[in-house]
């Protein structure tokens, strides 16, 4: 845990005490469990157990993780959600639901249902042989039954109610579906596709609410136009980010914020926050040296320009950097652990309302 994260943890504890939160002692977690849905930004290894090209179960993924081994995370080390869990007091992470670790008492601290190359649109997952969001929600229902058997119905209900729910999706819908699918381009404008995705988001939140969720944090889209892969494929030798794609991302973010406000009004006791990851990531991309980074236009692994996920970022990749902390991106899409730290610091501040 960095100094910033420790300082924020102290701040959070103080705020919880002031506002009568449910914090236990200093060694307790601030929420009983973390339950996660989404894509590769939050997948901790579910794709290792399905037939798909999108896997991070081999070096150099995970080289800077605690055990220096690949875990299925699309990063050199920790994801932003891992760092958030650290800050909230967790000493172990909720397991990938399809992994052997997702059993017994391990389920008491939550589970991760995310799948790389999935999205709000189930067709995105189908196209990429990933676990669709609708299937992730079905797995969550299964998890609830398992939790009740392990903890008893009363304790399980308390965990479900007080858990922190995280949703991180949307990037794959655009990068691995909309922008590369000419049929979809003809049916929807980017604005219309955003509305379509946000409609699915709203329905998914309502379904989670019906299943007992009350604290839901959702990440916005990042600056998709600034990802090294996007610049390579769609930049046409532009000097910076692809502005039209960033505009699409910002349009989506505006819609999902509006939808969250409406859900807050419609659903009693719901606490929901949209975590803005666009601005903090955009800021370090535009001024890397001001934020302790040396490189923001290519990833650490291999060429850093086209390694979308696993099959081009591997132990045989030539040119992989020696110090990923100097890079904003680990591969051509996913932030490095160092960049994830910046995002996590922002997330925890934005999410105080969820844990108070």
Is 276 noted as a catalytic residue in this protein? no
Contacts of 194 (CB under 8 A, 6+ apart): 248, 251, 252, 255
One-character DSSP codes across 131-145? --HHHHHHHHHHHHH
Residue with token string 């990440």:
219
Q: How far is the C-alpha of 219 from the C-alpha of 79, rounded, in Å?
A: 13
Is 99 noted as a catalytic residue in this protein? no
Q: How far is the C-alpha of 336 from the C-alpha of 62, rounded, in Å?
A: 11
Residue with token string 């370090």:
284
Is 334 noted as a catalytic residue in this protein? yes
| Bridge partners, residue 274, by sequence | 218
Q: How far is the C-alpha of 248 from the C-alpha of 190, rounded, in Å?
A: 6
Task: Give the CA-trace dihedral at 139, 274, 115, 108, to 10 degrees.
Answer: -50
Structure tokens at 244: 């039209």
Sequence-separated contacts (24+) of 152-157 with Cβ below 8 Å: 157/212
Catalytic residue among 82, 132, 172, 334: 334
CB 272 within 8 A of CB 258: no
Catalytic residue among 86, 276, 331, 345: 331
Catalytic residue among 5, 40, 118, 332: 40
One-character DSSP codes across 62-123? TTTSTTSS--S-SSSS--HHHHHHHHTT-SSPPPBTTSTTSSGGGGGGEEE---TT--SSHH
Q: Coil, strand or helix: which one is 309?
A: coil
**Region of 115 on the Ramachandran plot (φ > 0 left; ψ -120 to 50 alpha; else beta):** beta
Q: Coil, strand or helix: which one is 32?
A: coil
Instruction: Indicate the DSSP class of residue 24.
Output: -
Q: How far is the C-alpha of 240 from the C-alpha of 132, rounded, in Å?
A: 33
Q: Mind telling me the catalytic residues?
A: 40, 331, 334
């Amino acid at each position: 845990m960095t100094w910033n994260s420790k300082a924020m943890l102290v701040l959070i504890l103080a705020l919880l005490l002031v506002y009568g939160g449910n914090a236990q002692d200093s060694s307790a977690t601030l929420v009983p469990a973390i339950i996660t849905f989404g894509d590769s930004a939050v997948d901790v290894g579910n794709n290792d157990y399905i037939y798909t090209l999108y896997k991070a179960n081999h070096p150099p993924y995970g080289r800077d993780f605690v055990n220096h081994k690949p875990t299925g995370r699309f990063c050199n080390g920790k994801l932003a959600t891992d760092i958030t869990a650290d800050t909230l007091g967790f000493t172990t992470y909720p397991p990938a639901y399809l992994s052997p670790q997702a059993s017994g008492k391990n389920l008491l601290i939550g589970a991760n249902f995310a799948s790389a190359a999935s999205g709000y649109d189930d067709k995105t997952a189908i196209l990429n042989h990933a676990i669709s969001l609708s299937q992730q929600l079905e797995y969550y229902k299964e998890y609830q039954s398992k939790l009740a058997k392990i903890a008893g119905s009363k304790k399980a209900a308390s965990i479900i109610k007080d858990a922190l729910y995280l949703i991180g999706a949307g990037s794959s819908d655009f990068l691995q579906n909309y922008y590369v699918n000419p049929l979809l381009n003809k049916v929807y404008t980017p604005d219309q596709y955003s509305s379509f995705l946000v409609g699915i988001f709203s329905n998914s939140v309502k379904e989670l609410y019906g299943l007992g969720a009350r604290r839901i944090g959702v990440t916005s889209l990042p600056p998709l136009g600034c990802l090294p892969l996007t610049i390579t494929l769609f930049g046409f030798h532009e000097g910076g980010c692809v502005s039209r794609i960033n505009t699409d991302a910002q349009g989506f973010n505006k819609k999902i914020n509006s939808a969250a406000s409406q859900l807050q009004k419609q659903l009693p006791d719901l606490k929901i926050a949209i975590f803005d990851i666009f601005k903090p990531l955009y800021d370090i991309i535009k001024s890397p040296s001001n934020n302790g980074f040396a490189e923001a236009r290519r990833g650490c692994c291999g060429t850093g320009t086209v390694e979308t996920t696993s099959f081009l970022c591997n132990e045989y990749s030539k040119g992989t950097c020696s110090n990923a902390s100097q890079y904003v991106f680990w591969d051509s899409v996913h932030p490095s652990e160092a960049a994830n730290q910046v995002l996590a610091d922002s997330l925890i501040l934005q999410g105080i309302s969820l844990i108070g």
